[in-house]
Amino acid sequence: MKEYYYLNDRKEQEGPVAGEDLPRYGVGRSTLVWAEGMAQWTPAGNVPELAPLFQSQNGGTPPPPPAGGSAEEKPDNLLVWSILATVLCCLPLGIVAIVYSAKVDTLWTQGRYEESREAASKAKTFCLISLGLGIVSAILGFIFGFFSALM
């Protein structure tokens, strides 16, 4: 099997690596690869020689990678914001945000891009609701504390 270059998670070129060893380097079905003789960067699952390596999963100087590395960019998982929302604002909604945040990367790696985007969107929504409730609670606490001090 020939040697391939691949783009890692940061869209940096790695390789060359023997084709059969690509899965050990974290290369998945949707990872862009290139080998001498190929016209452009192609998802590993679409390369006939490599396709059997990824069925169990749901040279020369290579050309420059496509702009942005791929047509789709992984959404931010918002995990840090979800944790902060849990600790500082609203515990129950923050926990829900953490659950959705944790799903983003897993779904993306499985090639379930739309579900990954939905999970990121829900995590953002729950973070914002948690933040809003935290702010309202702080304002109400201040008002009640102020009036109780006057009486």
Residue 24 has pLDDT above 90, yes or no: no
pTM attached to this predicted model: 0.52
Give dist(CA 144, CA 37) in Å, integer: 73
Give dist(CA 141, CA 110) in Å, integer: 45
Return the percentage of the chain with pLDDT > 90, whole number.
Answer: 55
Give the pLDDT of residue 121: 95
Q: Residues 63-117: pLDDT tens digits? A: 555 554 445 688 999 999 999 999 998 889 999 999 999 999 888 888 888 899 9
Give dist(CA 58, CA 70) in Å, integer: 19
β partners of residue 108: none
Give the pLDDT of residue 141: 94
Mean pLDDT over each residue of the chain, to the nearest integer: 86
